[in-house]
Amino acid sequence: MAVELTGRDLLQGMRNVTILREIRERHQHAKIQVAGESVAVDMQTANVLITVYDALGLEAQAKFAGLLHHSPGTFHGLVDFSWKHVK
């Protein structure tokens, strides 16, 4: 199933990446916006998401960032995927 990302998804997704980096650097937690809803993210989850994001190529990074904002379901899917693939 393909997900169609909007420009808003990509823009807010990049903002979320910045917030996730800040969470990781400060060893704290914060909320990010996912499709207009606030979602709390802890430091471990932020670290896993940024580790996967940094390992991707530019095109995949853009899609990953867009999926961070697209919907709560896609966000939770990214979290599950990231936890499974980071050792």
Task: List pLDDT tens digits, range 23-45.
Answer: 999 999 999 999 999 999 999 99
The pLDDT value recorded for residue 5 is: 84
Tens digit of each residue's pLDDT (9 = 90 or more) over 68-82: 999 999 999 999 999
Confidence of residue 58 (pLDDT cuts 50, 70, 90): very high
Beta-carbon count within 10 A of 80 CB: 10
For the segment 80-86, the average pLDDT, to the nearest whole number, is 95
The pLDDT of residue 15: 95
Residues 6 or more apart from 78 whose CB is under 8 A from it?
49, 52, 64, 67, 68
